[in-house]
Amino acid sequence: MAGLTCKIIKETHHLLAEPLPGIKAEPDESNARCFHVVIAGPQDSPFEGGTFKPELFLPEEYLMAAPKVHFMTKIYHPNVDKLGRICLDILKDKWSLALQIHTVLLSIQALLSASNPDDPLAKDVAEQ
């Protein structure tokens, strides 16, 4: 458990010391496993100019299991359902110990730039 806590602290310091372009991620003051995230809509995407707020939570199984992430902001995207759940392979079956919080956030930002209509979570949106 101590190793997990050290990893979370290390990843948190990395996020705060070296912010990702267009992404702001801060741990919750009362729960270091919960991160409040703000992602600016990527340039040249349908989301350009928008601000999107996913919430990221590190479960007890973190390291062996992916973080839990969902959008708090409503978003019309084929890979995000009405509840804000995200269809992204690294959040499901492609999770690896080599991945980190910043990798997840960059992948979500990339998903905003290039959706994957072949693996939709919101089929009605993908059909559009």
Residues carrying an active site annotation: 87
Could you give the angle at the alpha carbon of 62 between the alpha carbons of 88 and 34, nearest 5°?
80
- Each residue of 45-76: b (16+ CB within 10 Å) or e? bebeeeebebbbebeeebeeebbbbebeeebe
Distance CA 67, CA 78 (A): 21
Per the CB < 8 A criterion, the answer to whether 25 and 101 are in contact is: yes
Per the CB < 8 A criterion, the answer to whether 92 and 66 are in contact is: yes
Nearest in space to 95 (alpha carbons), one of 71, 65, 127: 65
